[in-house]
A = this chain, B = another copy of it.
Amino acid sequence: MCEALLPMTTIRQIAREAGVSVGTVSNVLNDNDNVALATRERVQQVIQQHNYRPSNVARSLSTRRTGTLGLIVSNISNPFSSELARGAIETAQEAGHGLLVLGAAPDGLDLPTQVDTLVRQWVDGILITSEPLPDSRLSQLPCGDTPLVMMDYAQPPHRNVIGLINFDWEAAGYAATTHLLQLGHRRIGYIGGIADHPSSRWRAQGYHKALQEMAIPVDPMLECGGDFLAAGGYQVARALLALPNPPTAFVTANDLMALGALQAIAEGGLRTPNDLSLVGMDDIPYASFISPPLTTIHLPSYRAGQIGIQMLLEADRTHPTLQRIMLPTHLVERRSTAPVPKGFPRLRPDPSLPYKEGSD
């Protein structure tokens, strides 16, 4: 490795040139108040001249803090995740911190490896938003004393966890379902998330709760799992529409699957919301631009990223305490939902009935 690196200016060169000791230069750099004005100015001038930038690497080594945080995200091209990432990046940046972002490629590194990478970088904290792992593997993540903030866990799965962030998933499932019930829908298909995510269970619980309140039995045929991807939403929606007694509305566990469902509905020759209502979850930035504009549950994803970073920044490393936060969600009513059409079901043979349009 014969690197022909030009010799970088160091604090000692500055010191020599300004005729002071390195300690003094260091004090100037850190705005310590024990430097005489004249000295400070002289040093600053030399720093200017050389365009000297102190090395954060060296600083990190001696202070044992890097001013860098880590973010582990499952799939950054999911708009939900990218909003979250934006919240994290901007918040870290405003606080003068860097953010090392690792994403789980489909066949990529697993969580323990990712955490290991970050820990060896001495990041000051890690925000983990990627898919949950079985608690048994999680609890022994080798993360030294690096504080962790995690999303979508009921209980901290590791002793380093200083923050837990949850969306109120159950309320989300409940609100979505209730909205449809109020519009008169009684057969509501549920396109859920990946089974072993706790958040998937919580969403489904909200769905159940809403049905129970109306004394509607849960039809297991109508409740499906999903993959959080548009392709999966499409598949599941097709299957549900092919049922002998198909639903008049869908709740999907995220907006991407709602997009897929929308496509399946259109391909079935049906219109949303006239023939079939649909409510998603996430409120991705494009939800209002698709056609019809998607009724969905808004999740404050940007805020989640922001709070996660804030928790890490404010973490008290001497006596850490666990912070919990439950982020509220709310229904955003757009135009993919309407009252249940009269005289349904209408999918099969019967080519009938002029439906009344949704009357507000």
A residues with a Cβ closer than 8 A to B are 2-6, 8, 51, 53-58, 60-61, 64, 66, 68, 75-77, 79, 82-83, 85-86, 89-90, 93-94, 98-103, 105, 108-109, 116-122, 142, 144-145, 230, 259-260, 262-263, 266, 285-286, 289-291, 317-318
Contacts of A4 in B (CB 8 A): 317-318
Inter-chain CA distance A60–B54, complex, in Å, is 15
Contacts of A142 in B (CB 8 A): 51, 53
Least CB distance from A257 to B in Å reads 10
The answer to whether A262 and B291 have CB atoms under 8 Å apart is yes
The answer to whether B56 and A285 have CB atoms under 8 Å apart is no
Inter-chain CA distance A54–B8, complex, in Å, is 25
Report, nearest first, the 6 A-B pairs whose CB atoms are least far apart: A259-B289, A82-B82, A89-B103, A90-B105, A56-B120, A101-B101
The answer to whether B83 and A94 have CB atoms under 8 Å apart is no
Least CB distance from A113 to B in Å reads 9
Inter-chain CA distance A60–B58, complex, in Å, is 9
The answer to whether B51 and A5 have CB atoms under 8 Å apart is no
Inter-chain CA distance A168–B58, complex, in Å, is 42
The answer to whether A8 and B105 have CB atoms under 8 Å apart is no
The answer to whether A77 and B76 have CB atoms under 8 Å apart is no
Partner of A93, one of B103, B145, B263: B103
The answer to whether A90 and B103 have CB atoms under 8 Å apart is yes
The answer to whether B98 and A121 have CB atoms under 8 Å apart is yes
The answer to whether B102 and A100 have CB atoms under 8 Å apart is no
The answer to whether B99 and A101 have CB atoms under 8 Å apart is yes
Partner of A318, one of B2, B79, B317: B2
Inter-chain CA distance A317–B4, complex, in Å, is 7
The answer to whether B290 and A56 have CB atoms under 8 Å apart is no
The answer to whether A289 and B260 have CB atoms under 8 Å apart is yes
Between A and B, 17 residue pairs with Cβ closer than 8 Å are: A2-B318, A51-B142, A53-B119, A68-B121, A76-B76, A76-B89, A77-B79, A77-B83, A77-B86, A77-B285, A79-B79, A79-B286, A82-B82, A86-B103, A89-B103, A90-B103, A100-B100
Contacts of A102 in B (CB 8 A): 89, 93, 98-99
Provided the pairs A77-B285, A289-B290 are in contact, do residues A5 and B317 lie with their beta carbons within 8 angstroms? yes
Contacts of A99 in B (CB 8 A): 100-102
Interface centre among A51, A103, A262 (most CB of B within 10 A): A103
The answer to whether A86 and B75 have CB atoms under 8 Å apart is yes
Known: A82-B82, A94-B105. 20 other contacts (CB 8 A): A3-B64, A8-B144, A51-B142, A53-B120, A55-B120, A56-B121, A57-B61, A57-B121, A61-B61, A75-B86, A76-B82, A77-B83, A89-B101, A93-B105, A93-B108, A93-B109, A100-B101, A101-B101, A259-B286, A259-B290
The answer to whether A79 and B76 have CB atoms under 8 Å apart is no
The answer to whether A3 and B317 have CB atoms under 8 Å apart is yes
Partner of A117, one of B98, B144, B289, B317: B98
Contacts of A89 in B (CB 8 A): 76, 101-103
